[in-house]
């Protein structure tokens, strides 16, 4: 029977390690940020470190392959359910699996060999990834037992509806601010005014599937009050179109990806800062703007128009908006 300790301490193993280090120095991407923090520490240990993770996603440093991808997955999960550690963990495992799959795909389809296996594991996947992410997330057992996206979507259903309700409320307020400004009339935005518009949408339009898409007033207030730091990010994400979907829809599907969506991050942050100033900056609840800016940090903001309301939404908006302006 093989003695594992003897194998690990053998001269042959030392020679293999020396050779692997030589391969890594020549072929593996170098990462500048050698003082980085492990993804599991940032995302899963103690309070979720959203600000620090967002700073990593926005910086220009090179990290080992898969590092930003896994953190981005955790950030998407945090935006949906900020207090659910398990959801972040599941999405991080899915992102890790995607990274490992990509490493194998880059090799092409051919018979497995020692050379191909070493290239996939230690160069394309990277030893740092295997230690900090694969092993850090629980290794084979955690990856084998990870729930599917289909199960996650069932879990997300109520959260998705509450987020969509917040987003529609913010769209109403955004329209009201822009329209009143164009008329030179003062308008003080508040959640209660948006709720009036939502109530009209729900109560006066029995054919409109309100309960299928949105949540009650109490659940809206709960989501709004307990997750103030995420509201502007979610609303801004709903305004960014990527092919046929919005960035928000991709986040809610669990598909937010650093590799695919990094080109949109700057626009997302700029629009978030604009929402913080243009909408939240006019509201009496100063926590909304303060918590948003503390998360995304100072930087440029880009103005944008709110998405067009569909006819039935516009009718509900107009009924309440006219009353508010007249008052």
The string of DSSP letters for 278-291 reads HTGGGSS-HHHHHH
Whether the pLDDT of residue 30 is over 80: the answer is no
CA-CA distance, 152 to 253, in Å (whole number)?
A: 9
Q: Report the C-alpha gap between 104 and 164 in whole angstroms.
A: 38
Q: What pLDDT is attached to residue 162?
A: 96
pLDDT given for residue 29 in this prediction: 66
Residue 211 burial by Cβ neighbours in a 10 Å radius (0-12, 13-18, 19+): exposed
CA 300 to CA 184: how far, in whole Å?
A: 26
Distance in angstroms (rounded) separating the CA atoms of residues 233 and 271: 8
The band of 108, judged by pLDDT with boundaries at 50, 70 and 90, is confident
Q: Residue 69: which pLDDT band, with cuts at 50, 70 and 90?
A: very high
Do 221 and 165 form a contact (C-beta atoms < 8 A)?
no
Answer with the residue of higher pLDDT: 157 or 242.
242
List, in sequence order, every residue forming a beta bridge with 242; answer none if it has no partner. Answer: 245
Cβ-count burial 121-131 (b if 16+ within 10 Å, e if not): bbbbbbebbbe
pLDDT at 227: 96
Which of 137-151, 157-171, 278-292 shows the lowest mean pLDDT across its residues?
A: 137-151
pLDDT at 32 over 60: no
Give the model's pLDDT for residue 24: 81
| Residue 208: per-residue pLDDT | 86
Mark residue 221 as left, alpha or beta (left: phi above 0; alpha: psi -120 to 50; beta: remaining).
Answer: alpha
State how far the Cα of 191 lies from the Cα of 218, in Å rounded to an integer: 12
What pLDDT sits at residue 42? 97
CA angle 320, 228, 42 (to 5 degrees): 155
Q: Please tell me whether residue 245 adopts helix, strand or coil conformation.
A: strand
> Between these two residues, 312 and 205, which has the higher pLDDT value?
312
pLDDT on residue 182: 84
pLDDT-derived band of residue 110, with 50, 70 and 90 as boundaries?
Answer: low
């Amino acid at each position: 029977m093989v003695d594992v300790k003897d194998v690990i301490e053998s001269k042959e193993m030392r020679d293999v390690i020396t050779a692997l280090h030589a391969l890594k120095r020549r072929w593996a991407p170098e990462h500048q940020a050698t003082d980085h923090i492990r993804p599991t520490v940032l995302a899963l240990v103690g309070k979720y470190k959203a600000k620090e993770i967002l700073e990593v996603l926005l910086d220009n440093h090179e990290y080992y392959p898969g590092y930003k991808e896994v953190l981005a997955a955790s950030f998407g999960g945090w935006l949906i359910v900020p207090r659910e550690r398990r959801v972040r963990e599941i999405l991080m495992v899915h992102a890790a699996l995607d990274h490992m799959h990509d490493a194998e795909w880059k090799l092409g389809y051919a018979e497995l060999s020692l050379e191909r296996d070493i290239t996939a594991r230690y160069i394309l996947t990277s030893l740092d990834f295997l230690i900090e992410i694969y092993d850090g997330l629980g290794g084979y057992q955690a990856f084998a037992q990870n729930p599917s996206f289909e199960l996650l979507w069932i879990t997300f259903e109520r959260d998705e509806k509450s987020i969509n309700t917040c987003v529609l409320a913010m769209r109403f307020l955004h329209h009201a601010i822009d329209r009143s400004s164009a008329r030179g009339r003062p308008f003080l935005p508040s959640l209660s005014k948006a709720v009036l518009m939502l109530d009209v949408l729900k109560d006066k339009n029995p054919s409109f599937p309100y309960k299928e898409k949105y949540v009650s007033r109490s659940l809206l207030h709960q989501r709004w009050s307990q997750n103030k730091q995420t509201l502007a990010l979610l609303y801004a994400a709903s305004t960014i179109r990527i092919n046929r979907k919005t960035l928000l829809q991709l986040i809610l599907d669990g598909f937010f990806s650093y590799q695919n969506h990094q080109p949109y991050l700057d626009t997302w942050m700029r629009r978030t800062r604009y929402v913080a100033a243009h909408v939240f900056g006019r509201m009496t609840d100063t926590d909304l703007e303060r918590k948003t800016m503390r998360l995304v940090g100072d930087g440029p903001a880009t103005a944008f128009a709110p998405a067009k309301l569909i006819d039935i939404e516009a009718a509900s908006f107009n009924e309440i908006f006219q009353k508010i302006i007249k008052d």
